[in-house]
């Protein structure tokens, strides 16, 4: 849909929301745009829901991960914004479905945008737009996809001097134990959990549970199921508001996938639970350890494209430190009923409404719009082509000859960049731009390595 069509559709809704929010005491609006890496880029303004759109800096789709820390690579080469085109603004419009008033700060509301190019065409680099188009593909097949994301993350006591100096490994974990499912890890934990759940409920986000995970400073929350675009929106908002709550309490949260050395304690996953519904009935359910034909085709599609889309589940250098089948972080292309060592765990109990697939490859560093889009697009292709499903695995996956997921960021980049499926599913312009963003990430890491002498070198060679 072109920008002017969106203005015509959204304009009256935004004007009505403006009036209602003002009557309800809202004074300020946070306007969020999703960047390529999966962060909200936000501005705070006096309450104004413009029916004519928002100005968005196009550099948001070529800005470096972490804004270039620690080597100063602010942006990567992109057709989006560059010296030749003068780094222009593009256009955005607030999606009325995302406008919410904050229950814990009622003077604030927030909203999320869709992005458009200056000629009025949809911005091909907008992750939210990519997912919206994939969701329409599922709707054309007659299904409503539902996703529920669960995030593992770390919480530490904030020390801003250490953080400014980049000495994050010296931060102290929040809580005195590494036990999971522990209610007394710290004296403030239960109050913190209650406040987060309360805040999310006030903006329509359901937290099914919040638990301590195995590891010092490790925690996990699970979000309730929503439609695909809603689920990604809520995943982004939950991360943002968790970080806000932490900041208010002298804490800091991290979603990097591994902040402990490999093999020690846990890593941070972001498991995706997915199901399809039709006429408000679960389309995957066929009884315990059974799947409907559409579930089998959907799953066959997901498995068929898992290597090509792997970059969207493990998008950073740090992602690949989480690889560990023995710690339930998958390494193979496989599936099984209730099998946590496979990337796809099929769950068929305790009732039909709970029947779903758990995709276990994504880490907490994902862009949820892209990880959800990858699963959904591949599953839709499986249905469209009637792909056959391989048998579920049983036994030790390490002993089975299953295809392997790419084990490095470079390998995942090349699988994605050369994928005709990814070009068709997400748009060729998006595929190429995203691949460049990840190549820039790998290059930044290699440049940093080349400028440092490692601890290994000091300890191995200094005395000898």
Q: Which residue has the tokens 């948001």?
A: 60
CA distance 256 to 322: 10
- Among the listed residues 285, 268, 286, 265, the one whose alpha carbon sits nearest the alpha carbon of residue 277: 285
Structure tokens at 229: 């675009």
- Among the listed residues 102, 124, 106, the one whose alpha carbon sits nearest the alpha carbon of residue 115: 124
CA distance 200 to 222: 12
Fold of 3-123: Ubiquitin-like (UB roll) (3.10.20)
pTM, whole model, 2 decimals? 0.96
- How confident is the prediction along the chain (464 residues), in pLDDT tens digits per residue? 799 999 999 999 999 999 999 999 999 999 999 999 999 999 999 999 998 888 999 999 999 998 899 999 988 888 888 888 888 899 999 999 999 999 999 999 999 999 999 999 999 999 999 999 999 999 999 999 999 999 999 999 999 999 999 999 999 999 999 999 999 999 899 999 999 999 999 999 999 999 999 999 999 999 999 999 999 999 999 999 999 999 999 999 999 999 998 888 889 999 999 999 999 999 999 999 999 999 999 999 999 999 999 999 999 999 999 988 877 888 999 999 998 889 999 999 999 999 999 999 999 999 999 999 999 999 999 999 999 999 999 878 888 889 999 999 999 999 999 999 999 999 999 999 999 999 999 999 999 999 999 999 999 999 98
List the chain domain ranges: 3-123, 137-426
Name residues whose C-beta falls within 8 Å of residue 439's C-beta, 6 or more positions apart in sequence.
76, 413
In CATH terms, 137-426 corresponds, of 3.30.565.10, 3.30.590.10, 3.40.50.300, 2.40.50.150, to 3.30.590.10
Tell me what pLDDT residue 30 has.
97
Tell me what pLDDT residue 238 has.
98
Task: Tell me which long-range contacts 48-52 makes (C-beta under 8 A, separation of at least 24).
Answer: 48/18, 49/14, 49/15, 49/17, 49/18, 49/21, 49/94, 49/96, 49/99, 49/111, 50/14, 50/94, 51/7, 51/10, 51/11, 51/12, 51/14, 51/15, 52/7, 52/11
Tell me what pLDDT residue 266 has.
87
Tell me what pLDDT residue 226 has.
98
Asked whether this chain's domains 3-123 and 137-426 adopt the same fold, the reply is no
Secondary structure (3-state) at 158: coil
> For residues 444 and 71, is the Cβ–Cβ distance under 8 A?
yes
DSSP structure class, residue 385: H
DSSP string, 233-290: HHHHHHHHHHHHHHHHTTEEEE--S--S-TTSS---B--EEEEEEETTEESSB-STT-
């Amino acid at each position: 849909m072109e920008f002017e069509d969106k203005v015509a559709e959204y304009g009256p809704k935004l004007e009505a929301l403006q009036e209602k929010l003002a009557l309800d005491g809202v004074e300020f609006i946070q306007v969020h745009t999703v960047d390529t890496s999966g962060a909200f880029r936000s501005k705070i303004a006096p309450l104004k829901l413009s029916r004519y759109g928002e100005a968005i800096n196009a550099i948001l789709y070529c800005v470096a991960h972490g804004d270039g820390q620690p080597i100063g690579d602010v942006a990567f080469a992109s057709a989006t914004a560059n010296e030749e085109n003068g780094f222009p603004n593009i256009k955005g419009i607030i999606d009325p479905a995302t406008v919410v008033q904050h229950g814990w700060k009622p003077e604030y509301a927030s909203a999320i945008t869709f992005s458009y190019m200056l000629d009025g065409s949809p911005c091909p680099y907008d992750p939210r737009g990519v997912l919206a188009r994939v969701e329409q593909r599922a709707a054309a097949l007659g299904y409503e996809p539902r996703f529920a994301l669960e995030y593992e993350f770390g919480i530490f006591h904030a020390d801003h001097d250490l953080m400014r100096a980049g000495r994050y490994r010296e931060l102290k974990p929040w809580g005195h134990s590494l036990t999971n499912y522990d209610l007394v890890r710290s004296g403030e934990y239960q109050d913190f959990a209650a406040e987060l759940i309360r805040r999310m409920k006030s903006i329509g986000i359901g937290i099914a549970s919040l638990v301590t995970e195995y590891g010092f400073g490790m925690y996990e929350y699970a979000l309730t199921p929503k439609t695909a675009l809603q689920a990604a929106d809520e995943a982004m908002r939950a991360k943002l508001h968790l970080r806000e709550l932490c900041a208010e309490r002298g804490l800091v949260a991290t979603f990097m996938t591994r902040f402990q050395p490999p093999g020690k304690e846990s890593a941070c996953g972001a498991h995706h639970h997915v199901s399809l519904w039709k006429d408000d009935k679960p389309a995957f359910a066929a009884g315990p350890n059974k799947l409907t034909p559409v579930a089998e085709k959907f799953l066959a599609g997901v498995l068929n494209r898992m290597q090509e889309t792997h970059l969207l589940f493990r998008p950073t250098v740090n992602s690949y430190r989480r690889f560990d089948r023995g710690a339930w972080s998958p390494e193979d292309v496989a599936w099984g009923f209730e099998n946590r060592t496979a990337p796809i765990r099929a769950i068929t109990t305790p009732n039909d409404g709970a029947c779903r697939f758990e995709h276990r490859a994504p880490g907490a560093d994902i862009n949820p719009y892209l990880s959800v889009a990858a699963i959904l697009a591949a599953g839709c292709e499986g249905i469209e082509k009637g792909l056959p499903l391989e048998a579920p695995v049983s036994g030790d996956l390490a002993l089975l000859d299953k295809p392997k997921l790419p084990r490095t960021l470079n390998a995942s980049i090349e699988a994605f960049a050369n994928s005709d499926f990814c070009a068709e599913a997400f748009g060729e312009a998006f595929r190429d731009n995203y691949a460049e963003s990840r190549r820039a990430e790998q290059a930044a890491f290699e440049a940093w390595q080349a400028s440092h002498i490692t601890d290994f070198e000091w300890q191995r060679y200094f005395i000898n």
